[in-house]
Structure 1
Amino acid sequence: MPSKTEQFLSLLDGQPVIPVLKIDRVADAVPLARALARGGLPAIEITLRTADALEAIRRVAAEVEEAIVGAGTILNARQFSEAEAAGSKFIVSPGVTRELIAAAANSKTPLLPGAITPGEIMMAREAGLDFLKFFPAEQAGGASFLKALASPFAGIRFCPTGGVTTRNARDYLALPNVVCVGGSWVAPDELVRPGDWAAIEQLAREAADLLKA
């Protein structure tokens, strides 16, 4: 039986960028997910930072067959359960806590917990978690910090998120301990508000090709 890390990586299927989305209008969720999937980024993270986030996850899970929707900014076990019930295929948290580790242990849904300090990384590793979110990436030391973690934490892989843009994404993706990056630049507010799904699809296509360049 594949581990939860292997399960998560199979969901990503080599996708280099996970769009990190804040849904202000629930009606945007389905066309946005479709545009991102058409552009080559089917795995998306809808953050629980707005009142409509869970409903957005429900709609994408039910209506966008080509999308792989996950929930982000999960802070406790209750939110983990709510996001899972809404249809989330993976769970992302900004940090790692014993409560979230326990919730993940009792669930088939993989957890991508945030960890930036050696202590947090060791805590996650002790719990059997070896694919971690590095957040906030740029503020915590960026690609050079992550590069320094590769040797003492061999086998631990990361998804840097926070301050990652088209300007620095390749710096992260070039590191041996980085699987993918998370970013909001593929769905900026100035394109989501007017519903410019074609422009978002093009940004997604460019992001999906980052590893090919």
Structure 2
Amino acid sequence: MSAPDNIEAIMRTAPVIPVLVVEDIGHARETAEALVEGGLKVLEVTLRTEHALEAIKRMNLVPGAIVGAGTVTNPDQLHAAVDAGSEFIVSPGLTEKLGTAAVKSRIPFLPGIANSGDIMRGMDLGLKHFKFFPAMANGGVPALKSLAAPFFQCKFCPTGGVSASNAPEWLAMEQVLCVGGSWVAPAGASPEEITRLAKEACELAPA
């Protein structure tokens, strides 16, 4: 998946995109294998640790995995993530500089937004798919419903405070294609536990 217009296809792959903070590079590939086995093929590796780019390379070796980089905040990080094999880019916010670089690179891009100004900035760049972040801290479902109404043509992936218990409420929104969450691969979990959590996440349905 590397066409510029397929971020929606990536978002529709499963109800949940695992948000991964890789502290132990030795477990990167087995974590990816466990998630894919459980049905979660789209994996967001956050650039929050020194191992992130190497983790992307290793996870890319897992058959069926669609690996992208998260917490991308500037063009240099974007290019480094693409060079490491990222198939999509996720950012916590949206600047004109980062947005322009992403559009120019033709990489599927999911920028973070928190308000109407962010969305309008993205739309000016030709973007229609956004990460609502941090979802719960920004007012939860009622806040996104209010934002989504005037921007009916946009689609969203809420991330930040989303859990197995509240995900169905988010997924019930027509404009929400998926949610992002870290609960499917908690620190210290065994591959068997991660696979179980991934299978449960795949079965999540709108409330």
TM-score under structure 2 length normalisation: 0.95
On the 8 A contact 2:75/2:97 being kept in 1, the answer is yes
2:195 maps to: 201
On the 8 A contact 1:11/1:43 being kept in 2, the answer is yes
How many Å apart are 1:13 and its aligned residue?
Answer: 4.1
1:120 aligns with 2:110: no
How many Å apart are 1:3 and its aligned residue?
Answer: 7.4
1:136 aligns with 2:130: no
1:73 maps to: 71
How many Å apart are 1:65 and its aligned residue?
Answer: 2.0
On the 8 A contact 1:34/1:66 being kept in 2, the answer is no
SS at match of 2:157: strand
CA distance in 2, matches of 1:197, 1:164: 22
Unaligned 5+ runs, structure 2 = none
Unaligned 5+ runs, structure 1 = none
SS at match of 1:190: coil
Aligned pair in 2 of structure 1 residues 131, 180: CA closer, same or farther (>3 Å)? same
Q: Deviations over 1:43-83 (max 9, x none)?
A: 0100000000000001111x212110000000100000000
Q: Deviations over 1:110-141 (max 9, x none)?
A: 11000111111111111111000000000000
How many Å apart are 1:181 and its aligned residue?
Answer: 0.2
On the 8 A contact 2:113/2:130 being kept in 1, the answer is yes
On the 8 A contact 2:22/2:55 being kept in 1, the answer is yes
Runs of 4+ residues deviating >4 angstroms: none
CA distance in 2, matches of 1:212, 1:101: 31
On the 8 A contact 1:164/1:181 being kept in 2, the answer is yes
> Within 5 Å, which residues of 2 pair with 1:29-40?
29-40=28-39
SS at match of 1:147: helix
SS at match of 2:27: helix
CA distance in 2, matches of 1:184, 1:79: 22
CA distance in 2, matches of 1:78, 1:186: 29
1:46 aligns with 2:40: no
- How large is the RMSD of aligned CA atoms in angstroms? 1.5
2:145 maps to: 147
How many Å apart are 1:212 and its aligned residue?
Answer: 7.6
1:210 aligns with 2:204: yes
1:27 maps to: 26
How many Å apart are 1:14 and its aligned residue?
Answer: 3.4
CA distance in 1, matches of 2:206, 2:152: 25
1:166 maps to: 164
The letter for the 1-side match of 2:153 is G
2:57 maps to: 58
CA distance in 1, matches of 2:100, 2:142: 32
On the 8 A contact 1:73/1:92 being kept in 2, the answer is yes
On the 8 A contact 2:169/2:206 being kept in 1, the answer is no
Residue range with higher mean Cα deviation, 11-20 or 93-102: 11-20
* Identical pairs, percent: 48
